[in-house]
Amino acid sequence: MTHTRPTAAPAARVALAGVLALLAAACSSTTSEEGKGTSTQVKGVPSVSAPPSIATAADQTLPIDPYLLSYEQRDQLERAESVLVSRCMARFGIQYQAAPQIPAGNRPRSRTDRRYLETTAAGAQANGYHGAEGDRPTAPPAPPQVSDSTRLVLTGSAAANVKSGQGGQDYNGATIPKGGCLGESKDKLGAGPTNSGGGDAQLARDIDATAREKSKTDERVLAVFRTWSECMKAKGYDYADPIKILEDPRWTSAAPTDVERATAAADVGCKEQANVVGVWFTVEAAYETQLIEQNAPALAQVRKDNEDRLRTAAQALAS
């Protein structure tokens, strides 16, 4: 039986939350905070060598990856922030154990794992389009209940709705820093202008998102999407491309159905037949390389700042 693709995206999205967010990221062309003259404006269509045949990109590395934090590095910074917050609170005579918000479960093996959607037969059979159990979005943990005085030292404000207060108050003979102990700890791990807000540098995120969006509209990628679509039609499924398949409202069930698993299995087979991953990965990498070359000095600063942050985190954890 032929399955007709829906004409509108459903209100509810399921699974692959990280992938969908990535797919929705806006293509940017900005002068970013890393320095004057940095830009993510793509200048022409980059040429590529013959794309390799790749079934899954889980073990592949994109050019921008060295400028972004790995999962392990994020975990290290989270743990270090927890230690620094607790030490800061102790200066004010408050015992406070800050728990790092490290996600539990089975997250993607790498930034490229499922970046090009489901690409393994095992994943299709187990999860359909719901994503692996550990990748499914969960409600953030409720903030701990603290007294007004503890909140004052922690955030720089006693107000429950203020995440980062001005600080400056006297508490037990010591001056509360701006943003409280949370703000102080984040500043110590900020290490430079490119990361002052924590997380990845804006320029690196912009390059990642821009190359992603450009690759999705590149004719070389669209050509393999068409081949994929023809392959799917031959198997009885009518979808324009591998991205639209995620919008099928039938995938909003609590758990993957047999129909969903069968569709995902066909999807994976057609991706491999059309070499969707090989072409898509190669084209996206070419756009990233172009943008990296355009922003080499600023990205060198990004890498230095990340190294400084991780060194500070290691020192906090070691002591």
CB 72 within 8 A of CB 294: no
- What the block records as the tokens of 101 is 């918000």
More confident residue, 86 or 20: 86
Q: Which residue shows structure tokens 């108050």?
A: 169
What is the pLDDT at residue 142? 56
Give me the helices (H) in the chain, please: 17-23, 71-91, 121-127, 148-155, 180-188, 202-217, 219-234, 258-274, 276-294, 296-318
What pLDDT score was predicted for residue 13?
38
Q: How far apart are CA 44 and CA 58, in angstroms?
A: 28
Distance separating alpha carbons of residues 297 and 104, to the nearest angstrom = 36
Tell me: pLDDT of 33 over 50. Answer: no
Q: Distance between CA atoms of 68 and 294, rounded to whole angstroms?
A: 17
- From the list 230, 237, 234, 268, the residue with the least C-alpha distance to 5 is 237
CA dist., res. 181 & res. 74, Å (int): 20
Q: Could you tell me the pLDDT band of residue 26, with boundaries at 50, 70 and 90?
A: very low
Rounded-to-integer distance, Cα 227 and Cα 51, Å: 16
SS3 content of the chain, % helix, strand, coil (to 5): 50, 5, 45
pLDDT at position 124 is 95
Which stretch of 38-47, 102-111, 223-232 has the lowest confidence by average pLDDT?
102-111
pLDDT band of 273, cuts 50, 70, 90: very high
- The answer to whether 192 and 301 are in contact (CB under 8 A) is yes
Average per-residue pLDDT in the chain?
84
- 28, exposed or middle or buried, with CB in 10 Å at 0-12, 13-18, 19+? middle
The three-state secondary structure class of 170 is strand
- pLDDT at residue 20 above 50? no
Give the tens place of pLDDT for each residue, 283-300: 999 999 999 999 999 999
Is the overall model pTM greater than 0.85, yes or no?
no
Over 60: is that where the pLDDT of 234 sits? Answer: yes
